[in-house]
């Protein structure tokens, strides 16, 4: 069901009210409310919701139609305002429109088609104004949401950056601990690449200027160490005594226990 548009007509001339009501009800989708005084008009505005338009006579016993509509606009700013006036008041009406006190004026006696067109045009302007306001509110809401999302993202980035800083410090300390250990330690990934080692390991297996990191174990270790690592396929904890650079070591190979990590650890413990 199409919602009817409410129009309040304020005029102390009952014949004018009757003529307006008959025309608007007959020719449009309008619900007409009538008041014969400014006080009655204000009372209707206070008690009725969603009045789209007020059409007021230029002169009423209590106050001018322009003053009535000015006060109505202050309290109900979304309502469209039209004044009925005679030709002698045209200059005053133009001034009132320019000052924003009324939206339009209609001369009496009116032409039915012109009056209906004026009302329709005013209501179209009101609908467009309402749509623009809704769009502006929606854009403002989106802007606020984007600002909140940006702030939240900045906070998350700051937290992650802090977490990364902490993790880097932990890694640095961990590497420092490994470097001072009096044993050789290598970390080897499932692709047989050497991905970690301590300072003692780099000294024992320099393997060029870049050291052993990033190289395949078979290109760095002698056969006896590689054979020991291969034994991990059949043994839980392969061990062997080996010689590297005329120094004896007890070599052990272990798998990483953390399910999130894969790979092995090779440890060479210097012999006494």
Model pLDDT, residue 152: 85
CATH code for residues 178-270: 3.30.450.20
Instruction: Give the model's confidence band at 192: pLDDT under 50 very low, under 70 low, under 90 confident, else very high.
Output: very high
Strand 80-86 to strand 51-57: parallel, antiparallel, or no bridges (unpaired)?
Answer: parallel
Structure tokens at 102: 């009324």
Model pLDDT, residue 208: 72
pTM of the model: 0.54
Sequence-separated (6 or more) residues with CB below 8 Å from residue 96: 66, 83, 102, 105
SS3 state of residue 58: coil
Q: Partners of 6 in the beta sheet?
A: 31, 51
Going from the C-alpha of 172 to that of each of 56, 62, 164, 165, 221, the distances in angstroms are 82, 87, 12, 10, 26
Tokens 């005594």: give the residue: 241
- The yes-or-no verdict on residue 272 having pLDDT over 60 is no
Q: What are the sequence ranges of the domains in the chain?
A: 5-136, 178-270
Instruction: Give the model's confidence band at 136: pLDDT under 50 very low, under 70 low, under 90 confident, else very high.
Output: confident
SS3 state of residue 146: helix
- The yes-or-no verdict on residue 30 having pLDDT over 80 is yes
Using CB atoms within 10 Å of the CB of residue 235, give its burial: 0 to 12 exposed, 13 to 18 middle, 19+ buried.
exposed
Q: Cα separation of 178 and 184, whole Å?
A: 9
- The yes-or-no verdict on residue 175 having pLDDT over 80 is no
112 touches 120 (CB < 8 A)? no
Q: Cα separation of 35 and 10, whole Å?
A: 5
pLDDT digits (tens, 9 = 90+) for 61-99: 788 888 888 899 899 988 999 988 875 566 666 666 666
CATH code for residues 5-136: 3.40.50.2300
Q: Cα separation of 8 and 55, whole Å?
A: 6
Using CB atoms within 10 Å of the CB of residue 52, give its burial: 0 to 12 exposed, 13 to 18 middle, 19+ buried.
buried
């Amino acid at each position: 069901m199409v919602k009817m548009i409410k129009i309040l007509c304020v005029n102390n001339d009952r014949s004018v009210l009757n003529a307006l009501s008959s025309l608007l009800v007959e020719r449009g989708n309008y619900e007409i409310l009538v008041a014969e005084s400014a006080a009655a008009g204000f009372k209707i505005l206070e008690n009725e919701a969603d009045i789209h338009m007020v059409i007021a006579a230029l002169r009423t016993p209590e106050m001018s139609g322009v003053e009535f509509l000015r006060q109505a606009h202050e309290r109900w700013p979304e309502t469209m305002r039209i004044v009925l006036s005679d030709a002698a008041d045209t200059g005053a009406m133009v001034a009132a429109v320019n000052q924003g006190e009324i939206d339009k004026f209609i001369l009496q006696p009116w032409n039915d088609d012109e009056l209906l067109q004026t009302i329709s045009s005013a209501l179209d302007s009101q609908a467009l104004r309402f749509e623009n306001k809704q769009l502006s509110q929606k854009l403002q809401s989106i802007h606020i949401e984007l600002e909140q999302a940006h702030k939240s993202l900045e906070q998350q980035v700051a937290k992650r950056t802090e977490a990364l800083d902490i993790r880097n410090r932990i890694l640095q300390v961990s590497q420092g601990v490994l470097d001072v250990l009096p044993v050789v330690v290598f970390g080897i990934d499932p692709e047989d690449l050497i991905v970690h080692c301590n300072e003692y390991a780099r000294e024992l297996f320099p393997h060029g200027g870049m050291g052993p990191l990033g190289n395949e174990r078979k290109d760095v270790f002698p056969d006896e160490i590689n054979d020991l690592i291969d034994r991990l396929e059949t043994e839980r904890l392969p061990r062997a005594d080996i010689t590297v650079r005329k120094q004896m070591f007890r070599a052990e190979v272990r798998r990483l226990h953390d399910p999130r990590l894969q790979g092995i650890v090779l440890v060479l413990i210097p012999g006494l």
